[in-house]
Chains A and B, each alone.
Chain A
C-alpha cells in the first residue's frame, strides 16, 4: 500500500497568515496515464471531509484561490494564504493513483 506521510501533525496560525502542509508518498503517484492523483481535503469539526484540491493543483468547484496545491512524484504541498476562521479543521492528503486508496494521518489547523 502507498503510505502517505503528512507533516506537521498540527499547526497554529494567526488570522491573515499563511501556512504550508507537506505530504509525502512512499511511491510515485504518477499514474500510467500520466496523471498524478493527489488530493487535499478539509474536515471541519463535526462535518464530513470536503474536497479542496485534486490532481495536485486543481481547485475543486467553489474553493477559494487562497488554497493552492503543488508538487510532483512523491512530494506535495498545500498552501493556505490569508487564513480565515473558517479554515480551521483537519487537512488530509489522499492518493487515488493506486488501490487501495490511502490518506495521510491529517494535519490539525488551529487559529491563534
Chain B
C-alpha cells in the first residue's frame, strides 16, 4: 500500500534552515510527482511546489521561491524540502502529497 513517511517535528531558531523528508513506499517513486503543502495552525492549505522525481523538474508557488527548495533522491525513494531563513511565519505543518495520498505532516516550530 502507498505510504508517505515524513520526518519528525522540528523546533528551529529564527534565521536558520531546516530540511524535511518524505519517504515513499508502495509504488514506483518516479511514476508520480510529489507536492508539498503548508498548513498553519487552524488555517487552510497552501501549495508550496512540486517535484517530478523522474526528470528532477520542479515548479514553485512564487510565494515560496527563495524560501523552499525541493529535491528528490530516487535511490532512497525520498523527497526533501529545505526551508531557509526561517521566521515565525514559517511555523506550520508541512505535508508531502502525491496523487491520492498524503503524508502525516511534519510540524515545524520556529522559536528562539
Report A's interface with B, CB cutoff 8 A: 41, 48-51, 54, 60-61, 92, 94, 99-106
Verify B59–A48 contact, CB threshold 8 A: no
B89 within 8 A of A: no
B103 within 8 A of A: yes
The CA-CA distance from A73 to B105 in the complex, in Å, is 32
Q: Can you list 7 A-B contacts (CB < 8 A)?
A: A49-B37, A51-B100, A51-B102, A92-B44, A92-B45, A100-B61, A103-B45
11 additional contacts, CB 8 Å, given A100-B61, A100-B63, A103-B45? A49-B45, A49-B97, A50-B102, A51-B99, A51-B100, A51-B101, A51-B102, A99-B61, A101-B50, A101-B61, A103-B46
The CA-CA distance from A90 to B69 in the complex, in Å, is 29
Given known pairs A48-B104, A50-B102, A60-B100, the reply for A104 and B44 (CB within 8 Å) is yes
Nearest residue (CB) in B for A4 is: B44
Nearest residue (CB) in B for A49 is: B102
Given known pairs A48-B95, A49-B95, the reply for A103 and B102 (CB within 8 Å) is no
Report B's interface with A, CB cutoff 8 A: 35, 37, 44-47, 50, 59-63, 95, 97, 99-105
Verify A105–B104 contact, CB threshold 8 A: no
Question: Which residue among A48, A61, A94, A104 has the maximum number of chain B CB atoms within 10 Å of its CB?
Answer: A48
- List chain A residues, Cβ under 8 A from B100: 51, 54, 60-61
The CA-CA distance from A48 to B45 in the complex, in Å, is 11
Nearest residue (CB) in B for A48 is: B102
Nearest residue (CB) in A for B101 is: A51
